[in-house]
């Protein structure tokens, strides 16, 4: 049930790989599975009265449940919430990265932290040079712009900018001929031909992937586990 919650709801493909969902869940399971047997081995003694043994094993069970609950909460707050177009790339934004006190500054239609996998958003154009300078300084300090709600906008509003930044898929094949099989597999999953797709790089927590987009609508079509920067 925990695995269905994590991989089916919070970390759907490809975020179980790109955002470390698989590793986080594995840590939770290892800790929980080891914790119970180890403590049980320590407290179990057949010479104990039955009531005392039941009490001890009940405490062990409660400790396991508490560890599982805390672990799942940690996985939850680290979940990906948005895939944001960031001017020339996509970036995966995680719940823990978003300053909650700034969430009210986002437009009402994107002011949410989804539970069932990331939604696709975009960063709006800078209003002036001062705002661009401030944003650049934040980026240099390691604060990704995509995690700041005040810059979010609905993805359809950025369609023209996305298509202007995207590159033909033929270019990806030319740059990475050794990854032809992975690219072909990604294209096959989209149900589109290579000529109908364009691509942009994607920055995630643990890796760099490539996003495949419809060349006409800029709609997200698929992913390739390939660093295309």
Tell me the pLDDT tens digit for each residue of 157-175: 999 999 999 999 999 999 9
Partners of 85 in the beta sheet?
90, 122
CA distances from 30 to 24, 105, 150 (A): 10, 40, 39
Judged against a pLDDT cut of 90, whether residue 80 lies above it is answered with: yes
Q: Is 196 exposed, middle or buried (0-12, 13-18, 19+ CB in 10 A)?
A: middle
Lowest pLDDT segment from 18-32, 43-57, 121-135, 158-172: 43-57
- Residue 33 pLDDT exceeds 80: no
Q: What percent of the chain has pLDDT over 90?
A: 52
Separation between Cα atoms, residue 174 and residue 53, nearest integer Å: 67
pLDDT of residue 65: 86
pLDDT at 224: 95
Over residues 96-106, mean pLDDT? 88
pLDDT given at position 1: 87
Residue 216: per-residue pLDDT: 94
What is this structure's pTM? 0.85
pLDDT at 176 over 80: yes
Q: Which two tokens stand for residue 115?
A: 């539970």
Average pLDDT of every residue of the chain: 89
pLDDT tens digits, 36-66: 777 777 777 778 888 888 888 888 888 888 8
Least confident segment among 24-33, 36-45, 142-151, 187-196: 36-45
Is a pLDDT exceeding 80 seen at residue 88?
yes
Question: What does the pLDDT average to over 23-36?
Answer: 82
């Amino acid at each position: 049930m925990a695995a269905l919650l994590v991989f089916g709801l919070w970390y759907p493909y490809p975020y179980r790989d790109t955002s470390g969902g698989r590793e986080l869940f594995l840590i939770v399971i290892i800790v929980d599975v080891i914790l119970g047997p180890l403590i049980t081995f320590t407290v179990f003694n057949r010479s104990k009265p039955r009531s005392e043994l039941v009490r001890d094993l009940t405490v062990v069970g409660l400790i396991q449940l508490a560890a599982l609950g805390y672990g799942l909460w940690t996985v939850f707050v680290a979940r990906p919430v948005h895939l944001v177009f960031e001017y020339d790339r996509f970036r995966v934004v995680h719940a823990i990265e978003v300053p909650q006190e700034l969430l009210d500054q986002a437009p009402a239609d994107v002011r949410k932290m989804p539970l069932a996998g990331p939604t696709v958003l975009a960063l709006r154009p800078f209003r002036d040079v001062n705002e661009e300078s401030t944003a650049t300084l934040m980026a240099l300090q390691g604060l990704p712009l995509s995690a700041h709600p005040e810059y979010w906008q609905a993805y359809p509003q950025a369609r023209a900018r996305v298509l202007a930044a995207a590159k033909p898929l033929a270019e990806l094949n030319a740059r990475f001929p050794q990854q032809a099989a992975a690219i072909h597999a990604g294209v096959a999953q989209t149900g589109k031909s290579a000529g109908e797709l364009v691509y942009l790089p994607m920055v995630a927590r643990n890796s760099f992937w490539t996003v495949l987009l419809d060349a006409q609508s800029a709609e997200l079509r698929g992913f390739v586990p390939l660093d295309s920067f």
